[in-house]
Amino acid sequence: MTILECLNQLPDTMKMIDVLEFDRNKKVKTVVEIKSTLSDFHLKEEGYELRDHKTNYGKTIKKAIGQPKTLHLYVEV
Break the chain into its structural domains and give their ranges.
3-76
| Best CA proximity match to 77, nearest among 58, 59, 57, 55 | 55
Summarised one tens digit per residue, pLDDT across range 8-63 is 999 999 999 988 888 878 889 999 999 998 888 888 889 999 999 999 999 999 99
Q: What's the predicted TM-score (pTM) here?
A: 0.86
Q: Is 67 helix (H, G, I), strand (E, B) or coil?
A: coil
φ and ψ of 21, to 5 deg: -75, 130
Q: Report yes or no: 74 and 64 within 8 Å, Cβ to Cβ.
A: yes
